[in-house]
Chains A and B, each alone.
Chain A
Amino acid sequence: MLSLQLPTVINTKPSSSSSSFLTNTNPFKPKTLKPNPSSPFTVRSVLQYNRKPQLSGDTPRVVVITSGKGGVGKTTTTANVGLSLARLGFSVVAIDADVGLRNLDLLLGLENRVNYTVVEVLNGDCRLDQALVRDKRWSNFELLCISKPRSKLPMGFGGKALVWVVDALKARQEGCPDFILIDCPAGIDAGFITAITPANEAVLVTTPDITSLRDADRVIGLLECDGIRDIKMMVNRVRTDMIKGEDMMSVLDVQEMLGLALLGMIPEDTEVIRSTNRGYPLVLNRPPTLAGLAFEQAAWRLVEQDSMKAVMVEEEPKKKRGFFSFFG
C-alpha cells in the first residue's frame, strides 16, 4: 500500500507553515494552496506489496455515506467503495436508505433484481435474506433497498427499522458482514435521521465548492451531536488543472475548512458518467481509470481506518526532453 506518512505532523503542534491558516478567522474563506517547491517537507512512501488491507475495528462496521448537499456523489461513492471492499475480500451489504429516490441499484446495474425491500420485510411479505440482492460479479456484495420508489415507509420506526436490519444481519447464518454501507439521502430530513441511526462511523462526501462545504459542515455538526465521532471526508470531483489556476479550492483548503481527516480524493473523470449509464461501477473497469483507482485507495484506507497523509495537488509539467531542451 502506498502510505505517504508524515509522522511529525500528526499528534504534534502545528508547524509554522500550518499555523498560518489557524489564524484565519473566517473558516469559509477559500485559501488556495500555492505551490512552494522549496518547502522542506519529506514524504515517506512505503509500498507494501502483495498483501490485503487489515480490517481494523469491530465488525460489522456500519458506515453511513452522507453529504448534506445533493449531487456530490454519495451514491457513486457507496457503489464504488462497496464493490472495492468486496474485491478486497470483505463481505459488504450496501443499504440504499433513500426512501423516495433510490438510485444505488441503477449504479450497480441491479435494478431489475430488486423485488423486495425493507418495507416488504417489515410487512412480513418476505424475509430479510430474500430482500438482499446478491451481486453476480462479486458474490460477497449485497444490496438492500429500503423501499420501492412509490411505496411508503411507516413513519414511526424508520430509524428503528434500520437498527433491526443491522441486528438481523449481525445474527444471520452466513456470518456477520464486515461492512454495512448506508447510502444516505440528501438533506437533513427524516431520511437522514433514519440513515444515520445505526451508523458507527461516517464518510462525508463533498465537492470543493462553498455550497457543498457549508452543507457538509452542518451535517458534520449533526453527526457529532448524534454521537458519531469517526467522520472522514472524501473530496469528490477535484480538478487539478483548476486548482493550479486557482479557480478551485484544493483538497487541503477543504480540509482546513472542515477539519476532518481525508479518506480520499477523487479526481473529476468522464468515466464516472459512462459507468453510471452502464450500471457498471468504475472500480470494475479494466484498465482502471483515475477515479476508479482513487476509489480503490479510499476503500483500502477505510478498511485500515487510515487517512491520507499526502494529496495530489497539481499535475506536474512534463519534462522537456530532446536536444533543444538542453538549451532550456
Chain B
Amino acid sequence: MASISTLQVLPFPLSHLVSKHRTPSLLLKLRPEFGSRNGELSWAGRLISSQRFLLRAIDGSVSSSAGQDQSLRNDGVVKSKNKNGINLKDTVGELHGIISSFSPVVYSMRQRVGSNLAIGLCIVAAFFVIALRVYAVRKSKYNRPGSVADLVRRGQLRSDRRGISQPLKYDDPFNNPLVKVGKGNSTVEMCGKVYRLAPVTLTEEQQAVHQKRRSRAYQWKRPTIFLKEGESIPPDVDPDTVRWIPANHPFATTAGDIDEDLAQNNVYQKRGVPFRIQAEHEALQREQKLNRLVMDSSNDSDFVKAFKSGPKSPEHGEESPINNQAGNSKPLLSECGPNSFGIMSPSEETHD
C-alpha cells in the first residue's frame, strides 16, 4: 500500500529533515530502532514514535514526498495495526486523540492555498505581460510620425472631421432633436424648455407707416466728403454732404499718403508680387547694382594706380578698395535719389 511504503521510505528523508531542522534528541534516538526492527515493531514504542514522527512531519512542513495525504497515512497505520493483531482499543483512542489534536484539513488547505496563489500569480503575470505588449504595440502604432493620428494629436486635424470620404454632417437647426414643435403648433420645445409661441402680426402697411415716420424724422444725406475740422469746404461741394471729422480720428490721418487709383489697383490685383513689395525690391536691386558698379570702377582704378606707381606694400592694396567704396558710395547714393515710384527705400526711411 502506498501508505506503508511511505512509512518505510520515510526514515531516510526524515533523517535528512531531522538533521536539517534540528529536531529534538528523542526523535533522533528513535531512528536506529525504527530501522533495525523493520518488520517487528512493538506497537507501544512504535506508536509513540509515529506520534512524534507525524507531529514532526507536520510541523516541519516536509517536502511533497513526505507530505502525503494525512488521512491516507492514518489509514495505513490503522491497517498495519490490524495486521499485527495488537490491542487496538487503546491505540485507536490515542490515534483519535492525535488526529483530533491536529488539523490535517488546515494543513492541506494551507498547502493548496499556496499552490493556488502561485498559479494565480502566474496567470495574472501572463495577462499583465499580454496587456503590456498590446499597449506597447498600439502606442507604437499611434505614435508613428506623419500618421493621421499624429496629425490629430498635434492639432493639425480635427478628430471629428477625419477623412475626406465622409461628408460633413449637415445640421439642420429646425430638424434637431432639441427643437420640437407642440401638437397644437402653439408651443415649441427647445433645449428641454417649452415656450409658448405668439404669431407675428406686423403687416406691410404698418411697415410703410414706420418708414414714412422715419423719413420725416431723419433727413439725411450720405456724406460724400470727409474733412478734418478746420479745413475749408471746396466750392463745388454741398455743405450737407460734408462729414466733419476730428483731427485725432483714425480716418483723419494719412489722407494724402497714397494715390486713389493706385490703391484701387492694389485691391484688384489678383496675382503676382504686391506693388509696394515689388517697388521696394526693385529699388534695392538698383541700389545693389549701383554699388557693384562703384566697386568695379574703384577696383579698376586701384589696379591702374598700383600698376603705375609700381609695387607697394600689400596692406595698402587690400585697404584701398574699402576706403574707395566708402568714399564713393555716398555721392552715388545721393545721385540715385528716390525711385520712380516715389516710395522711399527702407534704408532711407530709417535714416529719416
Contacts and interface: CB of A to CB of B under 8 A. Distances in A.
A259 B202 contact: yes
A304 to B, nearest CB: 11
Interface in B217-274: 217-223, 226, 228, 243, 245, 249-255, 257-258, 260, 262-264, 266-272, 274
A130 B267 CA distance: 11
Contact of A154 (B193, B213, B219, B257): B257
Contacts of A290: 190-191, 193
B267 A155 contact: no
B220 A124 contact: no
B276 interface: yes
A220 to B, nearest CB: 6
Contacts of B226: 155-156, 158, 190
A67 B105 CA distance: 91
Contacts of A222: 218, 220
B175 A17 contact: no
A309 interface: yes
B62 interface: no
B170 A52 contact: yes
B270 A193 contact: no
Nearest to B257: A154
Nearest to A240: B195
Q: How large is the interface on A (under 10, 10 to 19, 20 to 34, 35 or more residues)?
A: 35 or more
B190 A313 contact: no
| Top 8 closest pairs, chain A to chain B, by CB | A259-B210, A124-B275, A221-B218, A296-B173, A124-B276, A312-B195, A221-B214, A2-B174
Contact of B198 (A124, A311, A315): A311
Given A18-B201, A126-B274, A262-B200, A48 B174 contact: yes
10 contacts: A9-B203, A18-B201, A35-B196, A122-B258, A122-B267, A125-B274, A130-B274, A193-B223, A261-B207, A312-B190
- How big is chain B's contact interface, by range? 35 or more
Given A17-B201, A288-B173, A293-B173, 6 more contacts: A9-B200, A13-B205, A123-B266, A157-B263, A293-B176, A315-B196
Contact of A155 (B173, B191, B217, B245): B245
B181 interface: yes
B284 interface: no
A224 interface: yes
A313 B222 contact: no
Most chain A beta carbons < 10 A, residue from B170, B194, B201: B201
Interface in A27-64: 27, 33, 35, 41-45, 47-52
